[in-house]
Amino acid sequence: MKATVANDTILKVENLEMLFPLTKGLLSRQYASVRAVDNISFEVTKGKTFGLVGESGCGKTTTGKCILRILEPTAGRVLYNGVDITKMPRKELKQYRRELQMIFQDPYGSLDPRQSASSMLKEALTIGQTKKLTGEINDRIEELLVLVGLNTEMKVRYPHELSGGQRQRLGIARALACDPKLIVCDEPVSALDVSIQAQIINLFERLQEELELTYVFVAHDLAVVRHIAERIGVMYLGHLVEVLDSSDLFQNSMHPYTKALLSAVPTIDYYAEKSRNRILLEGEVPSPINAPSGCPFHPRCKYATEQCKKQRPELTDRGGEHMVACHNV
């Protein structure tokens, strides 16, 4: 059943929910559940980048994995090009499998230590595809390596012989080997040095232009997400608290959590830093097992009222597609 979406929306997430049951005892009796992702909805435009940002435990990585069905969501729908892929049986999903790829955070754990670069790319190129000639495959492998900025001689190397940045490039090459349309990037630059981060970010942007890719960019670094994404979703404790254009992020954000997050990120603009208003949040992020009632942010929010404690705010459009989930804004 096709749902009606705008022509250029490549991905639509509707009321996505991911519950992890907590069990106790010999018979695995469930006594509670972790609401890792709690009723998330957003849209991603083709050829653009949607940034999912938040601190650890907010559910952004889980959301990314649910979109690709690495984890099976417990409720909600994921519509890829209008087609509901959430509950699709594995056999049917196969045709879309290669169009939806992921780039992982850990450049050390995302590559099989016993596979050389060429072997890995060969595997990615040949699974489920019509038989190609060895010459064709080799050519394509070299093309991919050059595309991600690696030397073709690196094809014989094993992961431990590559630096962090090179491994990440190889991971990107593997994803590209499948001719993807949408790539979920899970914190792809967090583990890299500053100067290498910039190189990889530029690579992402170049590839997006050349290959018309769409990204869902999951990260905790606000500056990186602001730079690469056109639209940003801020997550807290499994909820989307604000969705806005990245150009609005610094000046026009409305949700108290987003503002606190922005204030906590130091910039390199010296004079601006000295004159900035700092909002310090008290306390820690609560555990998702004991999520607070009503608005998940209310225990730490300066503006919390009785209504905030009881009623969970919905994401509503405040004008210009700027969505905020807050009673007091």
Partner 1 sequence: MGERLLEVKNLRTSFFTVAGEVKAVNGISYYLDKQEIIAIVGESGCGKSVSQKSMVQLIQMPPGKILGGEVLFEGKNLLDYAPTSKEIQSVRGAGISFIFQEPMTALNPVYTVGNQLVEVIRNHKKCSKAEAWKIGVQALRDVAIPDPEKRMRNYPFELSGGMRQRILIAICVACNSKVIIADEPTTALDVTIQAQVMELLQQIVERKKTSLVIVTHNLGLVTRYAQRIYVMYAGRIIESGTTEELITKPRHPYTKGLLNSVPKLDQTGSEKLIPIDGTPPSLVNLPDQCAFLPRCPYACDKCRNSMFPELRSVEGENHFVACHRDIVEDRT
Partner 2 sequence: MSEHLGKDITMEEWVKLESKRRRKDAAKQFFRIFFGRGWLSKCCLVVLVVFILAAVFCPLLTVYSPYEQSLIDALQGPSREHLLGTDNLGRDLLTRTMYGARISLCTGLLSSLIAMVIGVTLGLIAGYFGKFVSGVIMRVVDAQLSIPPLILTMCLAAIFGGSILSISIIIGISSVPMYVRMVYGQVLSLRENDYVAAADLIGQNKLKIMFKHLLPNCFATIIVLFTGNVGISIMIEAGLAYLGIGITAPTPAWGTMVSEGYNYFMFKPALALVPGIALMLLIISLNIVGDGLRDALDPRLRGKL
Amino acid at 129: Q
The binder of 280, among partner 2, partner 1, none, by C-beta within 5 to 8 A per type, is: partner 1
Tokens of 28: 């695995």
In the bound complex, what is the minimum distance in angstroms from residue 123's beta carbon to partner 2? 7
Closer Cβ to partner 2, 165 or 171, answer by number: 171
DSSP 263-301: HHS--S-HHHHHTPPPPPPPS-PPPGGGPPSSSTTGGG-
In the bound complex, what is the minimum distance in angstroms from residue 131's beta carbon to partner 1? 38
Give contact residues for partner 2 (rule: CB under 8 A): 68, 70, 94, 97-98, 100-102, 104-106, 109-115, 118, 123-124, 127-128, 138, 142, 152-153, 155-156, 158-160, 171, 174, 177-178
Distances in whole angstroms, Cα of residue 276 to Cα of each of 43, 158, 256, 261: 33, 47, 16, 13
Q: Which of 2, 31, 194, 290 binds partner 1 (CB under 8 A)?
A: 194
Buried b (16+ CB within 10 A) or exposed e, 119-156: ebbbebbeeeeeeeeeeebbebbeebbebbbbeeebbe
Using CB under 8 A as the binding rule, whether residue 306 contacts partner 1 is answered as: no
Using CB under 8 A as the binding rule, whether residue 259 contacts partner 1 is answered as: no
**Residue 35 to residue 17: CA distance in whole angstroms:** 8
Using CB under 8 A as the binding rule, whether residue 247 contacts partner 1 is answered as: yes
Closer Cβ to partner 2, 157 or 220, answer by number: 157
Binding mask 127-166 for partner 1 (x = CB under 8 A): ------------------------------------x-x-
Using CB under 8 A as the binding rule, whether residue 123 contacts partner 1 is answered as: no
In the bound complex, what is the minimum distance in angstroms from residue 120's beta carbon to partner 1? 21
Using CB under 8 A as the binding rule, whether residue 267 contacts partner 1 is answered as: yes
Geometric angle at alpha carbon 295, from 294 and 297, rounded to 5°: 135
Helix (H) or strand (E) run with residue 206 in it? helix 194-211
Using CB under 8 A as the binding rule, whether residue 284 contacts partner 1 is answered as: yes
Closer Cβ to partner 1, 175 or 224, answer by number: 224
The binder of 106, among partner 2, partner 1, none, by C-beta within 5 to 8 A per type, is: partner 2
In the bound complex, what is the minimum distance in angstroms from residue 128's beta carbon to partner 2? 5
Q: Which of residues 56-95 bind partner 1 (CB under 8 A)?
A: 56
Residue 20 has φ and ψ, to the nearest 5°, of -105, 120
Helix (H) or strand (E) run with residue 96 in it? helix 90-97
Segment lying near partner 1 (by CB under 8 A), choices 29-37, 39-47, 93-101, 262-270 = 262-270
**Residue 221 to residue 315: CA distance in whole angstroms:** 23
Q: Quick check: 279 and 265 in contact, CB under 8 A?
A: no
Order of strands across the sheet that contains 239-245: 100-103, 182-186, 214-219, 49-53, 231-236, 239-245, 323-324, 316-317
The binder of 128, among partner 2, partner 1, none, by C-beta within 5 to 8 A per type, is: partner 2
Using CB under 8 A as the binding rule, whether residue 254 contacts partner 1 is answered as: no
